[in-house]
Amino acid sequence: MKKTNFYHPKFIPTWILIGFMKLGAKLPFSLQVLIGKSISKPLYLLARQFRKNATINITRCFPDKSPLQIKTLVKQNFEAIGIALFETANAYFGKPSKIQKLATIHNEHYLTDALGKKQNIILLAGHFMPLMLGGRVLLLKYKIINIYRPQNNLLFDQIMCQNFTDNGANMIQTKNTRAIVKAIKSGIPVWYAPDQDLGKKHSIFAPFFNIQTATTTATARLAKIPNTVVIPYSFIRTNDGYQMNFQPPLNDYPGDSAKENAKRTNQILQNQILKTPEQYLWIHKRFKTRPKGEKSFYQVR
């Protein structure tokens, strides 16, 4: 890192945050969860826009829930956000021995079988709160490629990339399509999470929780690369640690219909979300892009 870039006074708050993260990564898991839940209470009160986004998303996705049930789930989601501060700290600064003890892996043979066959692998994931830590757990045993969106804070982005690179990851930005294609062809598993609103240009509308949702078509396009398999993958927090789960590689994917491909991708992610809805990234404006003539859910009224 260049001192002229990152030791400017404007980065002092970020350096302080990094210091706290290093200390936080040393705490026992149970204490991290306890403190994370405590942090969530002021976050819930102060992060008004995020609270609004989560409430709108959950209300739309779970129309059968009562207002009280929705409020409870939003609060649980903020608890997951508070805990995620420590999960991110663990991902960047946690000792391998500690991380390994916390994680249990299920159905790993789907990944190892594909590696044994020398197939190109796309690990299809969703944006759950512990996602950064999930990437670090994978790196304990495998070299992987992370497809990521750069952070607005340049110092924090540098720290993130440096720590994952130091642990064996290859970091590629979401907009670098040529590098992503080359990475997939290399045979190194590619961690890919398509459940973000990227606008209309590279998306198609497909149902997600019965809502027509702008869904990237890149997943299916990348899966068309010869000898490529898509393996759904999830990483969630449990009462005593974390659970990583691999599902069977998708059969007959991608198909001829772009809409059906997008629908299938969304359904896989939806099924994962339903298992632990409180841990999903509901604060993201997932439904911001609407079909022509339909107003955004998030417009100020």
Residue 232 pLDDT greater than 60, yes or no? yes
Residue 207 pLDDT exceeds 50: yes
- pLDDT over 70 at 263, yes or no: yes
Mean pLDDT within 190-213: 94
Distance CA 178, CA 161 (A): 19
Q: What is the mean pLDDT of the chain?
A: 94
Position 208, amino acid = F
Task: Provide the residue type at 63 as one letter.
Answer: P
Which of 265, 289, 296 lies closest to 200 in space, CA to CA? Answer: 289
Specify the pTM: 0.92
pLDDT of residue 83: 98
For position 46, what pLDDT does the model report? 96
As a whole number, mean pLDDT of residues 95-122 equals: 97
Q: Hey, what amino acid is at 227?
A: N
What percentage of the chain exceeds 90 in pLDDT?
Answer: 85
- Cβ neighbours of residue 63 closer than 8 Å, sequence gap 6 or more: none
pLDDT band of 3, cuts 50, 70, 90: very low
Distance, in Å, from the CA atom of 202 to the CA atom of 186, rounded to the nearest integer, reads 24
Is a pLDDT exceeding 50 seen at residue 157? yes
The answer to whether the beta carbons of residues 128 and 236 sit under 8 Å apart is yes
Q: Positive or negative, the Cα torsion across 136, 143, 276, 45?
A: positive
Task: Kindly report the number of other CB atoms within 10 A of residue 63's CB atom.
Answer: 10
Q: What mean pLDDT do residues 123-132 have?
A: 96
* Of residues 284, 291, 293, the one with CA closest to residue 196: 284
pLDDT of 264 above 60: yes
Question: Considering only CA atoms, which of 287, 268, 216 is closest in space to residue 57?
Answer: 287
* Per-residue pLDDT, 7: 79
In the structure, what pLDDT confidence band is assigned to residue 4 with cuts at 50, 70 and 90? very low
- CB distance 73 to 62 below 8 Å: yes
Rg (CA), the chain: 19
- Does pLDDT of 9 surpass 90? no
Predicted confidence at residue 300, as pLDDT, reads: 58
Return the pLDDT at 156: 87
Confidence of residue 277 (pLDDT cuts 50, 70, 90): very high
- Token pair in block for residue 299: 């417009």
